[in-house]
Structure 1
Amino acid sequence: MLLSLSWLREFTPYEGTAEALGDRLTMLGLELEDIVRPFDAIADIRVGHVVECVPHPDSDHLHCCKVDAGQGELLDIVCGAPNVAAGQKVPVALVGTRLPDGMSIKKAKLRGQPSMGMICSERELGLSDAHDGILVLPEDLLPGARLVDALQLDREVLDISITPNRADCLSVLGLARETAMAFHLPFSVPELPLVLDAAAPACEVPVDIADPELCWLYAGRVISGVRVAPSPLRLRYRLHAVGVRAISNIVDVTNYILFECGQPLHSFDLDKLRGGRIVVRTAGEGEHFVTLDGKERVLTSRDLCICDAERPVGLAGVMGGRNTEVTPESRNIFLESAVFRPQSVRVTSRRLGLTSEASYRFERGVDQRRTLWALDRACALMVSLGGGLVRKGLSLAEPRPFIPCRIPFRPSRADALLGVTVDREFSARALEGVGCAVERDAPDAWTAIQPSWRPDLTREADLVEEVGRVYGLDAIEPVLPPLRRRLDTAGAPESRFAFWGRIRQWGAGLGLNEAVNYSFVGHEDLDFLRLGREGRISIMNPLSADQDVLRTALAPGLLRDLRNNLAQGVQGLRLFELANVFESDAASETTARETGMLGILLYGRRHESGWPHAEADMDYADIKGIVGHLLAFLHLPEPECRPAREHAFLLPAVDVLVNGERVGSMGRVQPAMAGEFHARKAVWLAELDLEILRRLHDAVTVAFRPLPVYPPVRRDITVIANAGLTVGEVLSQVRGLGLPLLEDVALVDCFEPEADKAAGERHLTFRLTFRHADRTLNDAEVDKVREKVAESLKQRLGVRI
């Protein structure tokens, strides 16, 4: 939002600097981006009076002028503009002046005649594209005065970033209200009284609103006998200062009121409205419409249109139509002021890629109680600039009147949320300062009535934020709040947030890097990974074509992270992500089911350079080890891994089961798919269901036992087995013996000698750990138990030792 400092002072008597105002507004949540001085490039231009103007003796289009520019003597200036004449007040660039386009004015002779300056056009001054003649100034200006001072141009303009919830600050009126509150200044709005034509009969245009949920208010007035012409210089250049191109007095007034009051308006040529009526309805599917920019738009049934009796004449809240455009020949105007449902305007604007100053404000909400006031203000200004008369009669339909929210407010709750004790009188003044009417029903139970220009104030938390904003969030000491835990909740299952927090700590502690990705992916991403289309939730208003659906898996985002890291030269990557995946569910309140998932991606080198065997790459053992480590961290048993019958993008793929329940899958991303993400090595990926893991974790009863006192004894045993025998079968057999001295068994090596490959055999080495709780074991009894294990394996599994 561009805010002219001189325009602001018409509403509140702020006398400070632009920098001080920007700093204070920034602390109120309205961040100052820049201070623009739009007319500094013409600061040296002077007002001149053309005393004499005669034809050039050696040219048929040049004129020799004598100009009073306040220098004490008349200046000889040669001018080629066709409209220059004696008696005019004009802008003059003196010798040594540099124009906005970089040209420097020097003494010159044009066809033998001296020229000591330049009489400028608007284009040469950078004020517009007009260059068909010089700029003729008002007659009451004094020669020699600086042009920017004589025309009272807006010298300082603040570029303020407005957050989406503060639609009230998208106007000079709203920012003046904030300024008055911040600096304890009076606030007033200069009135423009509306005078109606008492002699002419009333003229009302009937208004029909087909869907009251899409148009809450529609009003209009008729102005007859107008003259469409350029606006006065001051109004044109004020619009120029805030980045708006002046068009004509009628159109310029609608833009002026939009920036001043925040209410978008639109003017129709009344004589072009067929049937003499306004109908607010949705468009027909595939209906065509040409907007003011000359482009033909194909509409859908979700687009709200302003129509006459036969056809659309405007896209509600976005842009008017070429078929009812105000032209220099227009004499009768129908001026519209309305309130549309913000979501409807946003859908149409985004779908068509058509954003305007009007749509920007309608999407965020306008002040419904100021709608008629802004209409009357614009009518009065139009009549003062373009002549004509405002006819009696108001076209009005308001199917959904504004009803302010009554919001409970507890000062003690505000203190608790802000972390500081705020004086009760200060809280009341702060709420009243932002426009709320405060009813003190009880010492700690107030009621605040929402002002019409603050649609964002609907909850107690919103009011607390306003009190904190006025108090100054920078004035609140940064003190950590005390953490209190009640004994009666000890041992209760932890919250989802706390559970996810512990998983994050586990991942970081294990050396994994956390990835945070958008919940939006593209249908093409899911199709590429062969993920089913059933259950997908498409985005009706996607930010881009590659973010048009909610993710159903974490893999697309993690694989994109892989590609981005590889592009930066990363050799090894260990990522984890905790996030929700989404699936349509008609039984859900939101029609979407959210499931928390943990994704883990491994790629490239196992160790950093400098470590032993740094060239070795990660493999299945790494991804399985990380999954097993997580389950141990959650006090769950070792996972049971079964080959998956089929998987969309993993090959080989393994289902991970805990207590017989599937909790996720892991495996290698298919090489052809991984190659599309620039991977040249194996990509290992796991996705685990955090909802199931949390439920299993909550059901675990943690038991404590004394730490072992006596040392363990370890023995290795190598099993020569057929390739079809799984490690899990061996482990199950050993553990099933129930030997009291055998504490643990684990696979430590897998070797396939060249001589045994033809026979399809491999060597599996297991480490047996023995321990006695009350004494140190000797070799004889350890070897005896080891022999029992070996004999059992040979007899039951048919292996060789």
Structure 2
Amino acid sequence: MLVSLNWLREFVPYEGDIQVLGDKLTMLGLELDGITDPFEPVKDIVVGFVAEREPHPESDHLSVCTVDVGGPEALTIVCGAPNVAKGQKVPVALVGTTMPDGMKIKKAKLRGVKSMGMICSERELGFSEDHEGIWVLDDALKVGDKLVDALNLERVVFDFDITPNRADCLSILGFARETALAFDLPLTLPKLNLNEGGGNAAEEVRIVIDDPELCPAYHARIIKGVTTRKAPDWMRFKLLALGQRPISNIVDVTNFIMFELGQPLHSFDLDLIEKATIRVAPATDGMKFTTLDNVERALTANDLLIWDGVKPVALAGVMGGLNSEMGKASTNVLLEAAVFRPGTIRKTARRLSLPSEASYRFERGVDQIMTRFAQDRAAQLIAETSGGTVLSGVASAEPRPWRDRTHGYRHKRCMALLGLDLEPAFAKKVFELEGCAVNDADPDNWSVNSPSHRLDLEREVDLYEEVGRVYGLDRIPAVLPKVSKSLEAEAGIPVYHFIRRVKEWGRGVGLNEAINYSFTGSDDLDRLHLPEEGRVFIANPLSEEQNVMRTELAPGLLNTLKNNLAQGNNHIRLFEVAKRFVRDETSETETREQNRLGLLLYGPRHAAEWPWPHGDVDYLDLKGHVEHLLCDALKLEAPVFTVAEEEHPYLEPCVRVAVSGEAIGFMGRVREEMADYYHARKDVWLADFNLDGLREMVAAHRIDFRPLPVFPPSRRDVTVIGPVTLHADAIRETILSAGVDILESVELVAEFVPQGQDAERNLSFRLTYRSPDKTLKDKQVDKEHKKILDALEKNLPIRF
């Protein structure tokens, strides 16, 4: 929103620093983007006086002018405009001046005559499209003055960002209200001096509103005998400062009021309105309508139109129709001021890609009470600038008049929420300066009526925000809230903490975290033979490739694999912690969500070949990661791995994983034909686990505390020679079951297969003995160690 400083000062007498004003309004929630000079391109243009004008000796359309620009000597300037004449005040671009279009004025010789500058037209200076001749200025202007100073043009324009809820600040008046509030200044509205005469608008035209929901109010005034011409300079200059191109007095007045008061208006040629009727009603599907920009647009039943007695004449709140446009020959005006349903205007403007200043305001909401005042002021200005007569009365239909909104306000609660300690008088002053009516008869619960221009004040908490906003949200001290929690409240493991723990494990073992979209494509799920049952489809997908919520993590991980292979990365170690989504009619959201952990391994076992041995990852690598997670990281019981009997959709083989008899996931190798689609030329190993189930298991842990050992250990190594078919775990279990109380741990430390002895191998174990009560003697350790050796020889086919 562009805000002219001089225009703002017509409403509120602010004379302070412009940066202070911008900063203050920013802290009130109206963020300042920048401050510009709209007439910077013409800052070097000066006022000149044509002292002499003679025909060019070598041309029948050029003139040689002697122009006084306030310097010691008059300048000779060759001019081609037909209306240049002696005695005129004109804008002059001196040598060295850069014009708005980028052209630099230089000394020139036109058909043998020197020219020391240029006499400018309005079009050349960017003030209008008028290029029929030079711009003849007012005789009262002083020769030699800068044009921007002589015409008192605006030099300061603020550019503010307006949040969607502050529709009241889409006008100069809205910013004047905020300035008055910020600096405790008086606010002055424009004076209305409307002269009516002859006839009655209510008898000349009939207003019909089909659906009050779409149009709560519609008012029409009639101005007869108008002449369409250029708007007065003061009005054109204000519009130019805000980046608006002046068109004609009738159109410029409606734009002027829109920027000044925030009420969009529209002017129809009354003589083109058939059957003296204005009807507000929706379009019909498929109908065509040509707007003012001469574009035929296809409409739907969701678009709102303004009709006369026969045809549509405007696209309500967005743009007028070509068939009712005010032209140069138009003499009678029907001036519209209305309130439309914001959502309807927004949808139409977006669907037709037809944004406008009017729709921008209508789709955020306009002040219904201000509508009549804005219309009367516009009618007054049209009459004054066109010589027309405003007919008495207004043709109106207001099926839904404005109703005051009353909110309760509890000052103690407001202070508690804001963390402040302000007097109630401060809050009351804020509300009254904003235009609210305050009844504080009950000191604990006020009654506050919000004004019609503050559509964002809908609830009591909105009033709290106003108190904090005006006091200064930046001035509210930062205080950490007091949090009191009992030990019972800390029972269990929060989901976030558990997920963070799993992610730290993944990064710690050298895996890279993958983050994929929660939605995928039906084709991806079909490719992995995942069932259609339970899929949650997206109502408005970004694309057909992302039209369903993922039911498993595999599609995302495999697409990540595909992308990495395409970039030349063949050593891939991935994990992903994410949710899967399955339709569940019994759920409140009709969707059941579950946290899952996905693992994917692919490529060589080691990232670098030397000095590591060759070889690709296999099942044991994946199994090792799973065991490390469950046993070492989460401290769960050793998992049980079972080959699935039933066929898995995308894994072959598929291994089911259970902990304490409860299934918690599955793992295996991706089917070759599926892996081939993702450009994999080696085995792809994938695992998927239920994190919610694992979290419940971890939360059910009982934490045992044991004292640290005090006495030193005693260690013995034993090498067992046995058949290669004998598992090391069987040897370990036999050692532990020998009934030796002082045996603390058993570790496999080495394996040796003698050359040529394929049937046997040597396994070395380290046994640690320790007593919790005393230091062990060698004799005692040897006795217990022999008991273990005897148990091994008795129960297993081994020798030492």
Structure 1 partner of 2:758? none
2:503 equivalent to 1:507 = yes
Structure 1 partner of 2:293? 293
Instruction: Output one character per residue of 1:639-671: Cα deviation in whole Å (capped at 9) or x when no partner.
Output: 777889788888888787778887777778899
1:231-246 to 2 correspondence within 5 Å? 231-246=231-246
1:449-460 to 2 correspondence within 5 Å? 449-460=449-460
CA 1:218–1:15 in structure 2 vs 1: closer, same or farther (change >3 Å)? same
TM-aligned CA deviation for residue 173 of structure 1: 1.5
Q: Which residue identity is paired with 2:537?
A: R
1:108-507 to 2 correspondence within 5 Å? 108-199=108-199, 202-203=202-203, 205-440=205-440, 442-486=442-486, 490-491=489-490, 499-500=495-496, 502-504=498-500, 506-507=502-503
Q: Distance in 2 between matches of 1:500 and 1:223?
A: 68
Q: Which residue identity is paired with 1:49?
A: F
Structure 1 partner of 2:46? 46
TM-aligned CA deviation for residue 703 of structure 1: 5.2
Moved more, 315-324 or 18-27: 315-324
CA 1:440–1:143 in structure 2 vs 1: closer, same or farther (change >3 Å)? same
Moved more, 505-514 or 157-166: 505-514
Q: Which residue identity is paired with 2:539?
A: S
1:368 match: secondary structure: coil
Structure 2 partner of 1:70? 70
2:538 equivalent to 1:537 = yes
Q: Which residue identity is paired with 2:503?
A: G
Q: Which residue identity is paired with 1:353?
A: S
Kept after mapping to 1: 8 A contact 2:630/2:638: no
1:220 match: secondary structure: strand
Q: Distance in 1 between matches of 2:413 and 2:94?
A: 66
Asked which structure has the greater CA Rg, the reply is 2
CA 1:49–1:300 in structure 2 vs 1: closer, same or farther (change >3 Å)? same
Instruction: Output one character per residue of 1:414-467: Cα deviation in whole Å (capped at 9) or x when no partner.
Output: 333333433433333334344433333544433433332222222343333322
Q: Which residue identity is paired with 1:538?
A: A
Q: Distance in 2 between matches of 1:267 and 1:747?
A: 94
TM-aligned CA deviation for residue 276 of structure 1: 3.2
Instruction: Output one character per residue of 1:569-594: Cα deviation in whole Å (capped at 9) or x when no partner.
Output: 999888877777778888887x7647
TM-aligned CA deviation for residue 148 of structure 1: 0.9
Report the RMSD for the aligned CA atoms in angstroms. Answer: 5.3
1:254 match: secondary structure: helix
TM-aligned CA deviation for residue 522 of structure 1: 8.3
TM-aligned CA deviation for residue 567 of structure 1: 9.9
Q: Distance in 2 between matches of 1:375 and 1:748?
A: 95
Q: Distance in 1 between matches of 2:477 and 2:788?
A: 66
Structure 2 partner of 1:595? 593
Instruction: Output one character per residue of 1:176-204: Cα deviation in whole Å (capped at 9) or x when no partner.
Output: 21122112222222223333334566445
Kept after mapping to 2: 8 A contact 1:535/1:584: yes
Moved more, 208-217 or 711-720: 711-720
Q: Distance in 2 between matches of 1:98 and 1:660?
A: 85
CA 1:320–1:558 in structure 2 vs 1: closer, same or farther (change >3 Å)? farther
CA 1:101–1:638 in structure 2 vs 1: closer, same or farther (change >3 Å)? farther
TM-aligned CA deviation for residue 739 of structure 1: 11
TM-aligned CA deviation for residue 356 of structure 1: 1.8
Q: Distance in 2 between matches of 1:511 and 1:392?
A: 80
Instruction: Output one character per residue of 1:239-260: Cα deviation in whole Å (capped at 9) or x when no partner.
Output: 2222222222222222222222
Q: Distance in 1 between matches of 2:552 and 2:62?
A: 74
1:268 match: secondary structure: strand
Q: Distance in 1 between matches of 2:656 and 2:625?
A: 14
TM-aligned CA deviation for residue 91 of structure 1: 1.0
TM-aligned CA deviation for residue 92 of structure 1: 1.1
1:173 match: secondary structure: helix
CA 1:522–1:275 in structure 2 vs 1: closer, same or farther (change >3 Å)? farther
Structure 2 partner of 1:797? none
CA 1:178–1:359 in structure 2 vs 1: closer, same or farther (change >3 Å)? same
Moved more, 667-676 or 374-383: 667-676
Q: Distance in 1 between matches of 2:297 and 2:507?
A: 54
Kept after mapping to 2: 8 A contact 1:204/1:221: no
Q: Distance in 2 between matches of 1:418 and 1:616?
A: 64
In structure 2, stretches of 5+ residues that fail to align are 751-760
Structure 2 partner of 1:26? 26
In structure 1, stretches of 5+ residues that fail to align are 722-729, 750-762, 792-801
CA 1:131–1:442 in structure 2 vs 1: closer, same or farther (change >3 Å)? same
TM-aligned CA deviation for residue 134 of structure 1: 1.9
Kept after mapping to 1: 8 A contact 2:122/2:135: yes
Moved more, 598-607 or 380-389: 598-607
CA 1:209–1:10 in structure 2 vs 1: closer, same or farther (change >3 Å)? same
Instruction: Output one character per residue of 1:658-699: Cα deviation in whole Å (capped at 9) or x when no partner.
Output: 78887777778899999999999988877777777777777x
Structure 2 partner of 1:798? none
Kept after mapping to 2: 8 A contact 1:49/1:87: yes
Q: Distance in 1 between matches of 2:209 and 2:90?
A: 51
Instruction: Output one character per residue of 1:126-160: Cα deviation in whole Å (capped at 9) or x when no partner.
Output: 33454342223344433333211222211111111
Query: TM-score, length-normalised on structure 2?
Result: 0.78
Kept after mapping to 2: 8 A contact 1:554/1:599: no
Q: Which residue identity is paired with 2:180?
A: A
TM-aligned CA deviation for residue 119 of structure 1: 0.7
Q: Distance in 1 between matches of 2:473 and 2:625?
A: 47
Moved more, 92-101 or 673-682: 673-682
Moved more, 22-31 or 528-537: 528-537
Q: Distance in 1 between matches of 2:614 and 2:347?
A: 53
**How many pairs align?**
764
1:696-711 to 2 correspondence within 5 Å? 700=700, 702=702, 704=704, 706=706
Structure 1 partner of 2:35? 35
Kept after mapping to 1: 8 A contact 2:83/2:134: yes
Kept after mapping to 1: 8 A contact 2:505/2:629: no
Q: Which residue identity is paired with 1:346?
A: R
Instruction: Output one character per residue of 1:286-308: Cα deviation in whole Å (capped at 9) or x when no partner.
Output: 22222322333222233333333
Kept after mapping to 1: 8 A contact 2:22/2:32: yes
Q: Which residue identity is paired with 1:326?
A: M
Instruction: Output one character per residue of 1:539-561: Cα deviation in whole Å (capped at 9) or x when no partner.
Output: 3xx8x768996855696888898
CA 1:86–1:403 in structure 2 vs 1: closer, same or farther (change >3 Å)? same
